[in-house]
Amino acid sequence: MKITIIYNHYFAKMPRDTYEQMRLIAPKATFFEAHYDTVTARDLIDSEVIFGPPPRHMLKELENLKWLHLTSAGADSMTDCTLYANPNIILTKSSGSFGVPIAEHVVGMMLSLGQGFGHYFEKQREAKWAQTWQGESVDIYNSTVFVLGLGDIGTEVCRRLSCFGANLVGFRYDISKPHEIVSDVRPMSELSRSLPEADYIVICLPGTADTKGLLGRDEFALMKKRMIIVNIGRGSIIDTDALVDALNLGQILGAGLDVTDPEPLPDGHPLFTAKNVLITPHVSAASPSTNDRRIAVFMDLLKHYADDKPLPNQVSFDKGY
């Protein structure tokens, strides 16, 4: 069994002793390292397992590939079955690796936008002592926070916000199971009618056909003027033009975006200069410990694969996540 590890700017090289640990799990495995920018189809042609992001256009040539493990929690770019030579491909993702740093990123955005830190930073750069914040502060304490998506990332967000004393409302498609932190869990079908309640909305949903354009002009019209939205899910979930207008017209107070549509956001895009927006370039998972957790997820899946057991973290091609 050949296992190929593909690195890119987002996935740093594994420590050498990791390979020794993998050999203990799969003694007959051989390992090959490549980088996304230089890998060729010939490098991958005899791979049974790939850990990392292969170029999409090569997948149709990889007839020996049985299992592809993504280094991301999102899988929307890889859920088109026609991409693969093997119709029975197993696709898994690194869910469970990113909740901690992304949740901290979310809290940072909420504090910055809710307390007007951006305004004060600009005054600091101008070397001015100016108590001139004209916006309305929004405390996290006792605020109503909607968390859309209660997977690993959404749960870690809730864990931290509960310590701030926020009133948490979770939204998910399947509400059959109780959540460990949030007692008020509602189906996604109730989101629109619930929107006037929210002080903050945190989007932790995957990018799928069901979530595309979930929040647009009609939804922004229902929100409080002091509402702040944070999106660390996928940019396609929000209608970008509608968001720009909602910010500039004062329909909502602010937005924190680690993902955008389009992405990357082109230079000069009007979202950059919209009122009270904080944009980070899809880096909320960046943490020294993220790589360690990502590797640990793969190691656990490799044990299942070597023992011919069903793999956790499988992506549903029908659902898109």
What CATH number should be reported for the domain holding residue 240? 3.40.50.720
Give residues with Cβ within 8 angstroms of 10, minimum separation 6: 53, 71, 72
Number of domains in the chain: 2
**pLDDT tens digit sequence for 217-258:** 999 999 999 999 999 999 999 999 999 999 999 999 999 999
**Residues tagged active-site:** 282
Report if residue 311 sits inside a domain. Answer: no
For the record, the structure tokens of 44 come out as 């991958």
- Is 55 inside any structural domain? yes
Whether 217 is covered by a domain: the verdict is: yes
Q: Is residue 233 part of a domain?
A: yes
Whether 312 is covered by a domain: the verdict is no
* Domain presence at residue 50: yes
User: Which stretches of the chain score pLDDT less than 70?
Assistant: 133-135
Do both 252 and 138 map to the same domain? yes
Beta-sheet strands, E only, within the chain: 2-7, 30-35, 49-51, 67-69, 90-92, 144-148, 167-172, 184-187, 200-203, 228-231, 254-257, 277-279
Do residues 196 and 207 both lie within one domain? yes
| 86 in a structural domain | yes
Same domain, 172 and 145: yes
Same domain, 202 and 117: yes
Do 126 and 212 fall within a single domain?
yes
56 and 112 in a single domain? The answer is no
Say if residue 106 is in the same domain as residue 93. no
Same domain for 120 and 132: yes
Give the pLDDT confidence score for residue 135 in this predicted structure. Answer: 65
Question: Do 71 and 174 share a domain, yes or no?
Answer: no
Supply the pLDDT for residue 292. Answer: 93
Could you tell me if 150 and 247 lie in one domain? Answer: yes
77 is in which domain, residue-wise? Answer: 2-97+288-306
Give the CA dihedral 104, 109, 269, 120, nearest 10 degrees: -140
Residue-level pLDDT at 175? 94
Question: pTM value?
Answer: 0.91
pLDDT of residue 30: 96
Q: Examine residue 269 and state whether it is found in any structural domain, yes or no.
A: yes
The residue type at 230: V
Nearest one of 80, 17, 76 to 210, comparing CA atoms: 76
Tell me the sheet residues that pair with 31.
Answer: 3
Helix H segments across the chain?
A: 16-25, 41-44, 99-114, 117-125, 152-163, 191-194, 217-220, 240-248, 290-306
Residues 12 and 62 in one domain: yes
> Do 117 and 240 reside in the same domain of the chain?
yes
